[in-house]
Chain A
Amino acid sequence: MSEGGKVVVLTCAGMDKALGSVARASVFKVVEELRPDKAKLVCLPPLLAGVASHSKMIRSLPVITVDGCAERCATKLAVKNRGRIRGRVLVPDSAKKHDLAPQSASNIGLNGEKLAEIIAQEIASIVDRVIQGR
């Protein structure tokens, strides 16, 4: 079982890619609506800017990474900081699987919202599984 019953979610920031914006939107749904007491959102950039509290958090709690493109920045930064990755979601795979393409990086549109909801449910299931130690 996860220490303290919390799981860290690290997401792609998706500044220049529509699927990155979907990643971000899906994680917000998890931490604000679906699993607010179990999932903790941690910013990616502080992990390489040397903010000790952030590195410590991802070493002490299980981590789920959500990547918006094949560069997999969230996963790479978790590995670099010796994070304990317990689940991974790659948004392009989900987009392909569900045949849903977001509109743009600044406005993901209806299909992007649908995709974010599906991915949010998937992340929430991983959170539950990690917390239950399965």
Chain B
Amino acid sequence: MSIVKNKVGIVSCSGEEIPEGTISRIATRIVLEKLRPEETVTICLPLFLAGGEGERAFARVFPTITVDGCEKRCAEIGTKKYSGRPAATIVVTDILKKYPNLKLGHRDELSAEEWEFTENVAEELAMKVGEVLGNGKELGGNGETCQKAER
């Protein structure tokens, strides 16, 4: 008998046009590689939307968290449309409202302040993974915290 460990699929905005998209993407990778490596997988959003059956099937069976860069909420809308309601959602522009002094610059390169913000987004995402899996008190699947994550 095989046991399938609980996993969460993270569906992230690819955000080519805006810095918030780059932040979504990097925050997602921090969670996948540093904070919750055993408990998360990523679902490629364009492939998911373009008809990737494997991606859609995964998202129908396992819980998903969408990470959107802006109010268009493409990841959330696409997930609802093709696989079902996500277990949790994050919108970077909403989190950004808590940082009124932070002005985002380039979409292809993050400043030190933007990196710090991105790490905060990653921590918030990691917390949501924990909540979805019912182990929300433990941040950092492999004992690391976001601040220790290598850039």
Contacts and interface: CB of A to CB of B under 8 A. Distances in A.
Interface residues of B, number: 32
Interface of A: 11-17, 20, 24-25, 27-28, 32, 41-51, 71, 73-74, 76-77, 80, 105-106
A12 B14 CA distance: 9
A24 B46 contact: no
Interface in B73-93: 73-75, 77-78
Given A15-B45, A77-B46, A77-B50, A49 B78 contact: yes
8 contacts: A13-B16, A13-B44, A13-B46, A15-B43, A43-B15, A45-B72, A45-B78, A105-B29
Contacts of A73: 44, 46-47, 49-50
B45 A45 contact: yes
Contact of B49 (A27, A32, A77): A77
Contacts of B77: 49-50
A116 to B, nearest CB: 11
